Amino acid sequence: MSVNAGYFEQLFASSDDPWQFRTRWYERRKRDLIMACLPRQHYETVFEPACANGELSAALAPRCEKLLCQDGDPTAVRLARERLVDAPQVQVEQGWLPADWPDGTFDLIVLGEIGYYLSAADWCQVIARARDCLTPAGAVLACHWLAPIDGCALDGRQVHALLEQHLPLPCVLRHEEAQFVLELWSRESLTFDLQETCR
């Protein structure tokens, strides 16, 4: 980590929603964009590290058979478990990346607002783990704030440049605004099931 565990402990000590995921229009809109960018209506297995208090997790849960959420901060883990108590397909674990990368394979890995909290070397390890545990039709979605963050080794552009450099998959979708970038790398082409969509 380029920031220590105390950084997140301090954030969650002062608020159960330190980034205002529940209340800020920016965060709600970005979450809606992330969900709209997922080409498949349903996924078998999804991994979401750095789940924080579980707001994006709650949107992902109905779209998958199994969702594994992870966060390093114990308060975040407790809050996410409370948020997702009615979603039996969701498991929330405590762990820090890259050391605590889970076993198994995933159809979708969601890397949201996490890369700049890691050193470049650790982020490259995360990218390698993501690459190695994708299913044959798997995808990686990443979304990051673009402005520099105090105390972080990388900014959002650097985070996504390293993904582009080290993730040997085609980038099938890219959305950039003044404040954030959202990209999807996939082992299958970006297609939507029009019959399913039009029902």
Q: Please, what are the domains in the chain?
A: 5-197 (3.40.50.150)
Check the CA dihedral 100-38-3-12 and report its sign.
Answer: negative
User: What is the structure's pLDDT at 12?
Assistant: 67
User: What is the structure's pLDDT at 152?
Assistant: 86
Residues of the chain scoring pLDDT < 50: 197-199
User: What is the structure's pLDDT at 190?
Assistant: 61
Check the CA dihedral 144-148-152-155 and report its sign.
Answer: positive
Amino acid at 74: P
Residues contacting 123, CB < 8 A, separation 6+? 115, 154, 159, 162
